[in-house]
Amino acid sequence: MHDTEMTMDPNKSKEVAGLTVGLIGLGLMGTPMAHKLSQSGAMLRVWNRNQSKSSQLATELDNVYVCKTPCDVSEGADVTILILTDAEAVDEVVFGAEGNSEGLANNLKPGSLLIDMGTTSVLKTRAFATKLEMSGSEWVDAPVSGGTTAAESGTLTIMVGGSNQAFKKALPWLQILGERITHVGDTGAGQIAKSANQMIVGLTIGAVAEAFTLADANGVEPAKIREALFGGFAHSRILELHGERMIKKDFQARAKCSIQRKDIKEAIELASASNCNLPSLETNLKLWDYMIEENMGDLDHSALLLAISGQKKEAP
């Protein structure tokens, strides 16, 4: 069975206290996740492409060791976690760029566990896992949902793909970071669940933005539309959180448009490989493409409102 659902056990931090976790990626999600892992009593070995972020983290936390290369991260680590931008970054970090030996896999001992918590292409995830398994190590894909707010509070929703054995090994670490953890299936199943999540998120952000734009064009305040829809069938977390950001024009990134666009594109690529036709998603992708073309890729994905309403990013 692969439909295991878990909630956070407050005693789980005892299971990892004194152990060592490798962490690669200190972006919007990785940094708050590092703080939660530190609070569990684990020792952290970290690496980030921008070394200033690693150094800053080491000044904030006592139990952090900054590594010089990805290969160094797994030295003495009980588990290694990745939270990177895309499949290309995962490939380079784990297996190393052509001609160098700094990839993480070069220093993994047989029986090691690697947990990819970023949103990575399903097809490439399966290929990475197969390649890693040849060296005797295990791969778990465990992408997350909930954004920076949930990362800071340790209440992420985590979708897991991997063997039962690997899931059990990963679980104590995942419970430090997440509140709802579901073992969806074998390798890649976690990423398929995340693709489904991102499809629904992307389409719903678009729907809310269109509804607000229509209301505004007809003289009704979007804030009143949002209030009126609460409790009905249109009520959602997107309407609550992203709807509020749209109304306040608060587009500081919690999750970037560029990342949302990458996730939608990967879902469409998976659909193509599976002979699925997803017309709504293909239309939605054009809106995210617009955000990138108009240099608004670094804004929060709630800023999709600007693409629909025809506004441009205001100069800072």
Active site residue ranges: 194
b/e sequence 234-261, b meaning 16+ C-beta within 10 Å: bebebbeebbebbbeeebebbbbbbbbb
* Residue partners of 97: CB distance under 8 A and separation at least 6: 103
How far apart (Å, rounded) are the C-alpha atoms in residues 286 and 221?
Answer: 27
* Residue partners of 64: CB distance under 8 A and separation at least 6: 34, 38, 44, 45, 46, 57, 58
* Contact between residue 155 and residue 8 where contact means Cβ atoms under 8 Å apart: yes
End-to-end Cα separation, the chain, in angstroms: 52
How far apart (Å, rounded) are the C-alpha atoms in residues 233 and 129?
Answer: 40
| Strand, helix or coil for residue 116 | strand
How far apart (Å, rounded) are the C-alpha atoms in residues 187 and 162?
Answer: 4
* Contact between residue 83 and residue 118 where contact means Cβ atoms under 8 Å apart: yes
**Helix (H), strand (E) at residue 163:** none
* Contact between residue 182 and residue 159 where contact means Cβ atoms under 8 Å apart: yes
How far apart (Å, rounded) are the C-alpha atoms in residues 113 and 174?
Answer: 13
**Helix (H), strand (E) at residue 63:** none
Which amino acid does the sequence have at 23?
L
Please give the distance of CA 306 from its chain centroid, rounded to a whole number: 24
